Amino acid sequence: MLPLQRRLAILAGVLLVVVGCVPVSSAQVRQPNIVMIVGDDMGYADIGVHGSKDIPTPHIDALAKGGVRFTDAYVTGPHCSPTRAGLLTGRYQQRFGHEVNMGADAGPNGGLPPSERTMADRLKAAGYRTALFGKWHLGSAAHLHPMSRGFDEFYGFLGGDHSYFESTENGTNPLYDGRDRVEASGYLTDVLTDRAVTFIKLEKSRPFFLYLAYNAVHTPMHAPEKYLARFSGIGDEQRRTYAAMMSAMDDGIGRVVAALRDEGLEENTLIFFFSDNGGPIMPGTTINGSTNTPLRGSKRQTWEGGIRVPFMIRWRGRLPEGKIDSRPIIQLDVLPTVLAAAGVEPKVEWKLDGVNLLPYLSGKRQDAPHEALYWRLFGHMAIRKGPWKLVKTMEGPLLVADTTSPDLSGAQLFNLANDVGEQHDLAATNTGKVKELTDDWLRWNKEMAKPLWGPGAGGRGRGGE
């Protein structure tokens, strides 16, 4: 008879062979969770890693230090609804006419067209449990409701803004739990965080997609005393309230990440954080006390202050930590990146404009994800190609313009590599570059659809900005 140690060694070898022949269990190859956190109307300068001195944001900063922070990250819409339409489809929203917030002429069916499939649709089909907590702003008709667009769960509001303290079932802009109107209790930023944490704890055993769309720091300017007390040294009342609202959102983000850590999900969760547009500092917008330094311009403009946003991606153990990337990206890239992480192969007929960022994040690709990025918002336009940016924008309300025959006369040219503040117009001395970018933008513009609705009275559209 063989010695015990010898028999155990043989048995161990047999087990290794057997285990090697057995398919890996679903638990071992579980798809990563996706957590997408979006702030609303944040100023570019108002987080610690971007130089903020008066508003500490330790939890947002921790996402940046634990992942990849993009310095040149953009959104396709310089205000709320268009950005969200592009985000959830991975396509320039102008391709399907969702150019601006829903205006008065959008009608009761105004919103993300039913012909477009959302990120939630794609992930739900791949076996994910999907939830949206917070701001929708893509239509209020029943067939446009989040739970008609791929989300299994929804708690939040359908319009563009909402009180942080008050909500009644019979109000003009109610809160919804699923499809039911509900009366809220508590500070809305905290309530949304509570729902996100509960969702994580309940769904920890299967892959989930959590879209946490805070309305912070969008107007109205509401903050509870416990957050206001942190900023007693800020004399300007609006800035103080804004700081308190930012701090509440930052605390919420910390609680969400802590919930992932507590449930052992941190290394199997891909996290995104960014803002839906730049801070509103221009008269005529819903000014909230934000700052976009050193960027020029505001929400609803195509200068950098309206379209460049804080943006970070973290996947612990899978992506670099503390990396700063200056290559231009855009929120359209989130969908293809998420699909790649989930093992979903996009189809050609989906006609996605975004790019899977995982090879760029991991270092497998060193080139730029995009040759050029484009913007169109009635009379506003821009194109960025390398460091060069051609832009035409304006102060004041949005003006209805003929998008089929756009007027690019007077467009300004900037080299963002050494003029991020867009102070030195180089158009007169670089006519060849102006023509190149003009031709590129016009070629792209021909592929876009006519807007489905106009900008509404004063350019604000229905349901806030």
Catalytic residues: 80, 137
Strand 269-275 to 33-39 pairing: parallel
Sheet strand arrangement including 33-39: 180-182, 175-177, 153-157, 129-135, 208-213, 33-39, 269-275, 311-314, 68-70, 323-325
* 295, 303 Cβ separation under 8 angstroms: yes
b/e for 120-135, b at 16 or more Cβ within 10 A?
bbbbbeeebbbbbbbb
Please state whether the peptide bond connecting residue 397 to the residue before it is cis, i.e. omega within 30 degrees of 0. no
b/e for 323-351, b at 16 or more Cβ within 10 A?
bebebbbbbbbbbbbbbbbbebebeeeee
* 94, 448 Cβ separation under 8 angstroms: yes
* 223, 248 Cβ separation under 8 angstroms: yes
Question: CA-CA distance, 222 to 324, in Å (whole number)?
Answer: 33
Please state whether the peptide bond connecting residue 182 to the residue before it is cis, i.e. omega within 30 degrees of 0. no
Partners of 132 in the beta sheet?
154, 211
Q: In the block, which residue shows the tokens 């039911």?
A: 180
State whether residue 411 is helix, strand or coil: coil
Question: CA-CA distance, 278 to 313, in Å (whole number)?
Answer: 18
